[in-house]
Chains A and B, each alone.
Chain A
Amino acid sequence: EVQLLESGGGLVQPGGSLRLSCAASGFTFSSCAMTWVRQAPGKGLEWVSTFSSTSGNTYYADSVKGRFTISRDNSENTLYLQVSSLRAEDTAVYYCVKGGRYCSGTSCFYFDYWGQGTLVTVSS
């Protein structure tokens, strides 16, 4: 059974930083692209960042480029998102998601498993 468990969210002041983590299990983590998607309170879904499994390339939404950094530890089956220079508009539930590029050599430009999310609140 695929499981994605996020942690690291919380209340942070504007300009502050956090590191979000996502522990994955139930699939070959190293073979799959992994993605962060966020959802502001009462708003829609927003793609944030993807870490490719094949090329090691990373991709970011313009709204977070230069402030957020996605990384992964395949030995620990863990995905990370370092969020810095936080703004009020970054307040959202951040979901760790399997997919977004390729998985085991097959195209996977969709998100087939989602974590329950971790809430990041940016406020003074």
Chain B
Amino acid sequence: QSALTQPASVSGSPGQSITISCTGTSSDVGHYNYVSWYQQHPGKAPKLMIYDVSNWPSGVSNRFSGSKSGNTASLTISGLQAEDEADYYCSSYTSSSTLVFGTGTKVTVL
């Protein structure tokens, strides 16, 4: 049950687009379209941003988009805003019938 691999930090200027990667294996990300993404502001509970690779929950801005290629999933934030500064985590279902989170990425808006 090794954590999925994410970059420790990603930064961008307001209005720019950034992409966060989430690398797993053929037993999790590569095998199932059950990748989700979460945003967490300091001291707050995580919030679901994307589910099933590329679907938006109700109320989430379409500036957030998800995709997957092979064993790597990605979250793209377009039109970066100050409020997007937060930690982001990916998650995937696994062939062991468990779920696993990514290592987390701190997004900084310059």
Contacts and interface: CB of A to CB of B under 8 A. Distances in A.
B89 A117 contact: no
A27 interface: no
B32 A109 contact: yes
Contacts of A61: 1, 98
Given A47-B100, A47-B101, A62-B1, A107 B34 contact: yes
A56 interface: no
A116 B48 CA distance: 14
Contacts of B51: 110, 112
Interface in A50-83: 50, 59-63
Given A59-B97, A59-B98, A114-B45, A45 B104 contact: yes
Q: Is the interface of A mostly helix, strand, loop or mixed?
A: strand
Given A110-B34, A111-B36, A45 B45 contact: no
Interface residues of A, number: 23
Contact of B47 (A46, A114, A115, A117): A114
B32 A46 contact: no
Contacts of A35: 99
A66 B70 CA distance: 34
A109 B95 CA distance: 12
Contacts of B38: 45, 111
A47 B96 CA distance: 13
B52 interface: yes
Interface in A17-67: 35, 37, 44-47, 50, 59-63
Interface of A: 35, 37, 44-47, 50, 59-63, 95, 100, 107, 109-112, 114-117
* 8 A-B pairs with the lowest CB-CB distances in the bound complex, closest first: A110-B36, A109-B34, A110-B51, A114-B45, A44-B104, A109-B93, A45-B101, A47-B99
17 contacts: A44-B3, A45-B38, A45-B46, A45-B101, A59-B97, A59-B98, A63-B1, A95-B45, A100-B99, A109-B34, A109-B93, A109-B99, A110-B36, A111-B36, A111-B48, A112-B51, A116-B45
Given A45-B40, A110-B52, 6 more contacts: A35-B99, A44-B3, A95-B45, A107-B34, A112-B51, A115-B45
